[in-house]
Amino acid sequence: MTALAEEPAVTATGTEALLEVRDLVVEYGRVRAVDGVNLRIETGEILGLAGESGCGKSTVANAILRILRPPARIVSGSVLFQGDDLVVKSIEELRRYRWRNVSMVFQSAMNALNPVMRVGNQFVDMMQAHERISKRRAIVRAGELLELVGIDKRRVRAYPHELSGGMRQRVIIGMALALSPELIILDEPTTALDVVVQREILQEVEALKRDFGFAVLFITHDLSLLLEFADRIAIMYAGEIVESGPAAKLASDPLHPYTQGLIKSFPPLTGVRTRLTGIPGSPPDLREPPSGCRFHPRCPHCLPENAELYLRQTTERPRLREVAPGHQVACHLVEGGAA
Amino acid sequence: MSALEVRDLSKRFAIGSAFRPQHVHAVEDVSFSLRPGTITALVGESGSGKSTVARLIARLYDPTSGAVLFDGGDVARVKRRKDILGYRSKVQLIFQDPFGSLNPVKTVRHHIERPLRIHHIVPPAQVDERVYDLLNTVGLVPPDEVAAKYPHELSGGQRQRVAIARALAVEPKVVLADEPTSMLDVSIRIGILNLMIKLKEERGIAFLYVTHDLASARYLADDILVMYAGQIVERGPVEQVLAEPLHPYTQLLLAAVHGERIVDRGVGGGAAAVDPGPGCRFVDRCPLAIPACSATTPELVETAAGHAARCFVTAPSPTST
Q: What is the predicted pLDDT for the residue at B147?
A: 94
B99 Cβ under 8 Å from any chain A Cβ? no
Residues 28-87 of chain B with CB under 8 A from chain A are 45-46
Q: Report phi then psi at A262, rounded to 5.
A: -60, -45
- Contact between B131 and B109 under an 8 Å Cβ cutoff? The reply is yes
Q: What is the predicted pLDDT for the residue at A14?
A: 54
The pLDDT tens digits of the residues spanning B122-145 come to 999 999 999 999 999 998 988 999
Are the Cβ atoms of B186 and A198 closer than 8 angstroms?
no
Of B187, B252, B259, the CB nearest to A196: B252
Are the Cβ atoms of B187 and A261 closer than 8 angstroms?
yes
Chain B residues touching residue A53 (CB < 8 angstroms):
185
B267 Cβ under 8 Å from any chain A Cβ? yes
Rounded Cα–Cα distance for residues B286 and B311 (Å): 10
Q: If we measure between CA atoms, which residue out of A184, A238, A230 comes closest to residue A326?
A: A230
- Contact between A315 and A336 under an 8 Å Cβ cutoff? The reply is no
A42 Cβ under 8 Å from any chain B Cβ? no
For residue B267, what pLDDT band results from cuts at 50, 70 and 90?
low
Establish whether this prediction's ipTM goes over 0.85: no
Q: Which residue of B has its CA nearest to A191?
A: B182
Q: Say how many CB pairs under 8 Å bridge A and B.
A: 95
Q: Evaluate the CA torsion angle A276, A280, A281, A287 in order and state its sign.
A: negative
Are the Cβ atoms of A282 and B239 closer than 8 angstroms?
no
Are the Cβ atoms of B187 and A52 closer than 8 angstroms?
yes
- Contact between A205 and A186 under an 8 Å Cβ cutoff? The reply is yes
What are the CB-based long-range contacts (under 8 Å, 24+) for A69-72? A71/A27, A71/A28, A71/A29, A72/A26, A72/A27, A72/A28, A72/A33
Q: Report phi then psi at A73, rounded to 5.
A: -150, 150
Rounded Cα–Cα distance for residues B193 and B221 (Å): 10
A198 Cβ under 8 Å from any chain B Cβ? yes
Interface test with B, best of A282, A285, A288 (most B CBs within 10 A): A282
A301 Cβ under 8 Å from any chain B Cβ? no
Q: A102: phi > 0 → left, psi -120 to 50 → alpha, else beta; which?
A: beta
Helix (H, G, I), strand (E, B) or coil at A9: coil
Nearby residues of A288 by Cβ (< 8 Å), 6 or more positions away: none
B121 Cβ under 8 Å from any chain A Cβ? no
Of B185, B194, B212, the CB nearest to A194: B212
Rounded Cα–Cα distance for residues A233 and B147 (Å): 40
- A266: closest CA of chain B, how far (Å): 8
In the β-sheet with B39-43, what is the strand arrangement from edge to edge? B91-94, B174-178, B206-211, B39-43, B223-228, B231-237, B307-309, B301-304
Helix (H, G, I), strand (E, B) or coil at B320: coil
pLDDT at B154 over 90: no
Chain A residues touching residue B45 (CB < 8 angstroms):
194-196
Rounded Cα–Cα distance for residues A176 and A105 (Å): 7
Are the Cβ atoms of A278 and B194 closer than 8 angstroms?
yes
- A132: closest CA of chain B, how far (Å): 35
Interface test with B, best of A162, A195, A221, A258 (most B CBs within 10 A): A195
Q: Report phi then psi at A261, rounded to 5.
A: -65, -40
Are the Cβ atoms of B190 and A267 closer than 8 angstroms?
yes
Chain A residues touching residue B265 (CB < 8 angstroms):
150
- Contact between B94 and B181 under an 8 Å Cβ cutoff? The reply is no
- Other beta carbons less than 10 A from residue B153's beta carbon: 12
- Contact between A249 and A324 under an 8 Å Cβ cutoff? The reply is yes
Torsion of CA A309, A312, A314, A319, to 10 degrees: -120
**Mean pLDDT score of chain B, rounded to an integer?**
90
Chain A residues touching residue B153 (CB < 8 angstroms):
none
Per-residue DSSP letters for B217-247? Answer: HHHH-SEEEEEETTEEEEEEEHHHHHHS--S
pLDDT at B320 over 70: no
Q: What is the pTM of this model?
A: 0.86
Q: Evaluate the CA torsion angle B144, B147, B152, B154 in order and state its sign.
A: positive
Q: If we measure between CA atoms, which residue out of B159, B165, B14, B170 comes closest to residue B86?
A: B170
CA distances from A1 to A253, A327, B161 (A): 10, 12, 42
Q: A150: phi > 0 → left, psi -120 to 50 → alpha, else beta; which?
A: left
For residue B23, what pLDDT band results from cuts at 50, 70 and 90?
confident
CA distances from B15 to B26, B264, B273, B275 (A): 11, 27, 12, 10
More confident residue, B139 or B270: B139
Chain A residues touching residue B255 (CB < 8 angstroms):
199
B296 Cβ under 8 Å from any chain A Cβ? no
Interface test with A, best of B97, B159, B190, B274 (most A CBs within 10 A): B190
Are the Cβ atoms of B215 and A166 closer than 8 angstroms?
no
Q: B8-23: string of b/e by CB count within 10 Å (b at 16+)?
A: ebbbbeeeeeeeeeee
Nearby residues of B30 by Cβ (< 8 Å), 6 or more positions away: B6, B8, B9, B10, B49, B53, B66, B227, B230, B231, B232
B149 Cβ under 8 Å from any chain A Cβ? no
- A81: closest CA of chain B, how far (Å): 32
B251 Cβ under 8 Å from any chain A Cβ? no
Are the Cβ atoms of A282 and B188 closer than 8 angstroms?
yes
B237 Cβ under 8 Å from any chain A Cβ? no
CA distances from B145 to B91, B132, B151, B267 (A): 29, 10, 13, 50
Tell me the pLDDT of chain A (339 aa) as tens digits: 444 444 344 444 457 899 999 999 999 988 999 999 999 999 999 999 999 888 999 999 999 999 888 889 999 999 999 989 999 989 888 888 888 899 998 877 677 888 899 999 999 998 998 888 999 999 999 999 998 888 888 889 999 888 878 888 889 989 998 888 999 999 988 777 778 888 888 888 888 898 889 999 999 988 888 988 999 999 999 999 999 999 999 999 999 999 999 988 888 888 888 889 888 888 888 888 899 999 999 999 999 999 899 999 999 999 999 999 999 999 999 865 444
A259 Cβ under 8 Å from any chain B Cβ? no
Chain A residues touching residue B191 (CB < 8 angstroms):
278, 280
- Contact between A101 and A81 under an 8 Å Cβ cutoff? The reply is yes
- The residue-averaged pLDDT of B155-171 equals 91
Q: What is the predicted pLDDT for the residue at B7?
A: 95
- The residue-averaged pLDDT of B50-74 equals 92
Chain A residues touching residue B197 (CB < 8 angstroms):
275
Chain A residues touching residue B156 (CB < 8 angstroms):
282
Q: If we measure between CA atoms, which residue out of B220, B176, B166, B198 comes closest to residue B70?
A: B176
Chain B residues touching residue A300 (CB < 8 angstroms):
none
